[in-house]
Amino acid sequence: MSSSDTIEPRQTPAEIQAEIDREQRRFAETLDALEEAARPGNIARRQLGKARERGARLVDEARALVLGGGAVRLESRLVEPEEGTIVVKGDEEVITTYQSRSQLPPEAIILAAGVGTVVAVGAVAWAVRRKRK
C-alpha cells in the first residue's frame, strides 16, 4: 500500500470535540433565549409595549384626521429579526414613520382655548354653587 492509498480523517478527534462543544454552547444559548422569551412577565411586557405603540399610532392618526394638519404617516415597514433570533408568533415589529405637516391652524387653537375657558368657568361655577348648599 502506498501513502496515496491510505485514507486520512478530515478532522482530528480534538477538532471534532471542539466542534461538538461549540454546538452545545450554541444550543444552550438558544435554549436560554427561548426560556427568557417564554417567561410570562416578558410576554406580558412585550404585549403591553405593542398595545401602547398601537394606541399611540391610533391617537396620532386620529389627531391628524381631526385637526387636519397634524402628523402624517410616511411609511410602515416590517422589521426583520436579527439573524439567529427566535421569533414567537406575533413578535414581528412594524416601524411607522410620521412627519409633522405644520403647526396647528389658528382656528384649532382658538377653539381649544374657548373650550378650556368654558370648562374652567363651569368648574368654578359648580364649585361655588356646591359650596352655597
Cα–Cα distance, 79 to 35 (Å, whole number): 23
Model-level pTM? Answer: 0.37
**Which residue matches cell numbers 391628524?**
64
Q: Which residue has the higher pLDDT, 120 or 66?
A: 120
pLDDT per position as a tens digit, 69-100: 555 666 666 766 666 666 666 656 666 665 65
Residue 96 DSSP one-character state:
E
Q: What is the dihedral of CA 5, 11, 12, 13, to 10 degrees?
A: -120
pLDDT per position as a tens digit, 32-57: 989 988 888 888 888 888 888 888 87
What average pLDDT does the structure give for the chain?
Answer: 78
What element of type H or E holds 127? Answer: helix 106-132
